[in-house]
């Protein structure tokens, strides 16, 4: 038997005894009986296709049991664009159409970037975009989320990254015996993983060091963080807080590192399945609270090749070297109406006649030593042009105007730029606003929204969802003046940062996820946007 399964059996045995102890040791008035309470379990990054494969292969036996014999139902869900956690949670938690074009983007009016892991950025976005709206987790607890959803208890929530409320942790600490058990269990599992890694090093010292990244993820995320989230949420379920939202990160992080269908990513679903089982057991033990368990995913992931593996350079470096920098510039005139060309820039470099060597040197300093300039590697700004690589998407901002620009304005400065970029290696789509509405430029040809089925999305039966997603994305004020996607390039899917699994784009794997609903809950199926979740979830607040 797998030692981890043995540890789980011991944990469940102790938990049964602790259940009776906790139920008898309650102090103060019991929480008021409610018609129903809300528990949302988010499996970050899991597409519907990968979920169905995991269910068929027996990797999530408990969730499969709920679907087959427990009265739970699996619904198809599309999540819109961008396919990212912040946009999904803003829509689902507050019922707000988000102005969140990616995980990292620039706000031209504020003259600053928004990067969600950075302290303060998520809190600002939540405060400004959700102002006055009731969150679906109001008065409850959120774990591992980008936004709080109105929760008063938060752990590992980006909006309170440097100043967590602490109540969630204090609530967990109040159950000293339970916390001690989880710490012991996590320590034992960590030692087990370390022992396996040590044996692997002895057996194969040449290749074993490649596994240290996997080991760190397993111990840090899939043992300690997941166990802490499950423990804290269990305490909240016993206490009868108004709502709980738990976001399990394991699969998403493994997928970014190894790919969405890699064995390491798919195996992580078994541990998440055990955590869902534990939360369900707690719900069953406190029937007076009326917990309704939902399981969903905020987006899927596409298997990608990092851009620098294709070209030898990061996207930002190529753009500033060959397009926006001196090497990509030439005189505009009747014979050469297009001011800047990628091909001309590349040719100039190869022939050794590219001007601006100092600027090119500074570009390399920005890439290799970004901390000297207070920048992140994915963001670069030169001469009023800012480029942000955010995943399989990248944003180009022309900063001379604080408002979003349309193609006609862009072409007065950079004629033919959008078409030229759409033909470049590693770039699949270029999205841009125009006076006639959003355009998708694919392999040098412009497509209006009603023409997408004739071009980059030919053969897709969900083209109407893609059309709606592009319209929503390019309607966001903070989306780039040019939005580049590495989706469906001639070289396959491409990400502009160092990751194998990526999301934010319009591929089927990224856009199509799922919603599992409890017995007795009816939803309009399929769900076509996370905004449709808000009325379902916020209704639980109104009955408390």
**397: β partners:** 386
Pair 520, 500: CB distance under 8 Å:
no
| Percent of the chain whose pLDDT exceeds 70 | 72
- Write the DSSP assignment of 503-538 as a string of letters: -SS--HHHHEEEEEE-TT----SSB-SGGGHHHHHH
Is residue 172 over pLDDT 80? no
23 pLDDT above the threshold of 80: no
pLDDT for the residue 160: 61
Q: 356 — phi, psi (to 5°)?
A: 70, 45
Pick the closest to residue 254 from 238, 240, 237, 271 (CA basis).
271
- Residue 45, sorted as left (phi over 0), alpha (psi -120 to 50) or beta, turns out to be left
289: left (phi over 0), alpha (psi -120 to 50) or beta: alpha
Residue-wise pLDDT for 455-514, tens only, equals 999 999 999 999 999 999 999 999 999 999 999 999 999 999 999 999 999 999 999 999
- What residues form DSSP beta bridges with 516? 74, 295
Lowest mean pLDDT among 216-220, 506-510, 536-540: 216-220
pLDDT, one tens digit per residue, over 117-166 is 888 899 999 999 998 899 999 999 999 999 999 999 887 787 765 444 54
Cα 134 versus chain centre, distance: 23
Spatial contact of 277 and 72, defined as CB atoms under 8 Å apart: no
Half-sphere exposure of 523 (CA within 13 A, CB side): 27
- Cα dihedral 18, 153, 224, 181 in deg (nearest 10): -20
Cβ within 8 Å of residue 199, ≥6 positions away = none
Distance CA 540, CA 543 (A): 6
Residue 40: its pLDDT value, please? 98
- Mean model confidence pLDDT for the chain: 81
Q: In what order do the strands lie in the sheet with 385-389?
A: 379-382, 385-389, 393-398, 482-485, 429-432, 439-442, 445-448
Are 18 and 178 a contacting pair, CB within 8 Å? yes
Give the residue ranges of DSSP H helices in 130-219. 167-174, 176-203, 212-219
Give the whole-angstrom CA distance, residue 45 versus residue 276. 16
Measured CA to CA, the distance from residue 333 to residue 415 in angstroms comes to 11
Tokens, residue 101: 């074009």
Q: Torsions phi, psi of 78, nearest 5?
A: -105, 140
* Residue 314 reports pLDDT greater than 60: yes
Residues 6+ apart with CB under 8 A from 69: none
Q: Helix/strand/coil (H, E, C) string of 53-98?
A: HHHHCCCCHHHHHHHHHCCCEEEEEECCCCCCHHHHHHHHHHCCCC
For residue 357, is it left (φ>0), alpha (ψ between -120 and 50) or beta? alpha
CATH superfamily of 3-22+37-103+113-204+214-300+508-542: Alkaline Phosphatase, subunit A (3.40.720.10)
CA angle 489, 439, 407 (to 5 degrees): 110
How many of the other CB atoms lie within 10 Å of CB of 323? 24
Looking at residue 345, its pLDDT comes to: 42
* Domain boundaries, given as residue ranges, for the chain: 3-22+37-103+113-204+214-300+508-542, 305-498
């Amino acid at each position: 038997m797998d030692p981890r399964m043995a540890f789980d059996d011991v944990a469940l045995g102790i938990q049964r005894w602790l259940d009776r102890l906790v139920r008898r040791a309650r102090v103060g008035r019991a929480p008021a009986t409610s018609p129903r309470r809300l528990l949302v379990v988010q499996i970050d990054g899991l597409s519907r296709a990968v979920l169905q494969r995991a269910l068929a292969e027996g990797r999530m036996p408990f969730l499969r049991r709920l679907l087959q014999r427990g009265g739970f139902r699996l619904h198809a869900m599309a999540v819109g664009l961008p396919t990212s956690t912040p946009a999904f949670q803003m829509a689902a938690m507050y019922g707000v159409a988000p102005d969140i074009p990616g995980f990292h983007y620039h706000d031209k009016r504020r003259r600053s970037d928004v990067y969600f892991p950075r302290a303060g950025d998520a809190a600002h976005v939540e405060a400004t975009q959700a102002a006055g709206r009731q969150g679906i987790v109001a008065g409850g607890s959120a774990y591992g989320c980008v936004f709080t959803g109105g929760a008063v208890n938060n752990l590992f929530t980006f909006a309170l990254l440097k100043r967590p409320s602490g109540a969630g942790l204090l609530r967990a600490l109040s159950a000293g015996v339970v916390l001690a058990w989880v710490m012991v269990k996590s320590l034992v599992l960590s030692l087990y993983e370390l022992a396996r890694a040590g044996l692997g090093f002895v057996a194969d010292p040449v290749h074993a060091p490649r596994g240290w990244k996997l080991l760190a993820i397993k111990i840090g995320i899939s043992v300690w963080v997941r166990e802490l989230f499950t423990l804290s949420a269990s305490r909240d379920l016993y206490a009868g807080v108004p709502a709980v939202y738990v976001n399990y990160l394991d699969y998403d992080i493994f997928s970014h590192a190894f790919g969405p269908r890699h064995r390491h990513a798919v195996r992580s679903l078994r541990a998440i399945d055990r955590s869902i089982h534990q939360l369900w057991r707690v719900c069953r033990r406190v029937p007076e609270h009326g917990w309704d368990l939902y399981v969903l995913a905020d987006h899927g992931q596409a298997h990608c090749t990092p851009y620098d593996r294709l070209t030898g350079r990061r996207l930002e470096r190529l753009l500033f070297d060959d397009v926006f920098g001196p090497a990509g510039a030439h005189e505009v005139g009747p014979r050469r109406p297009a001011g800047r060309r990628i091909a001309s820039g590349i040719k100039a470099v190869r022939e050794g006649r590219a001007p601006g060597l100092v600027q090119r040197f500074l570009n390399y300093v920005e890439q290799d030593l970004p901390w000297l300039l207070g920048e992140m590697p994915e963001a670069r700004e030169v001469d009023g042009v800012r480029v942000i690589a955010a995943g399989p998407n990248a944003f180009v901002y022309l900063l001379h105007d604080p408002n979003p620009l349309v193609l006609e304005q862009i072409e007065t400065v950079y004629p033919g730029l959008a078409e030229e970029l759409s033909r470049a290696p590693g770039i699949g789509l270029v999205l841009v606003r125009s006076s006639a509405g959003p355009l998708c430029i694919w392999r040098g040809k412009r497509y209006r929204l009603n023409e997408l089925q004739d071009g980059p999305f030919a053969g897709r039966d969900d083209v109407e969802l893609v059309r709606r997603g592009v319209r929503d994305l390019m309607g966001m004020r903070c989306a780039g003046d040019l939005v580049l996607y590495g989706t469906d390039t001639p070289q396959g899917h491409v990400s502009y940062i160092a990751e194998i699994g990526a999301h934010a784009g319009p591929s089927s794997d990224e856009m199509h996820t799922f919603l599992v609903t409890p017995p007795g809950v009816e939803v309009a199926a399929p769900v076509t946007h996370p905004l449709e979740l808000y009325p379902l979830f916020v209704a639980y607040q109104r009955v408390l």
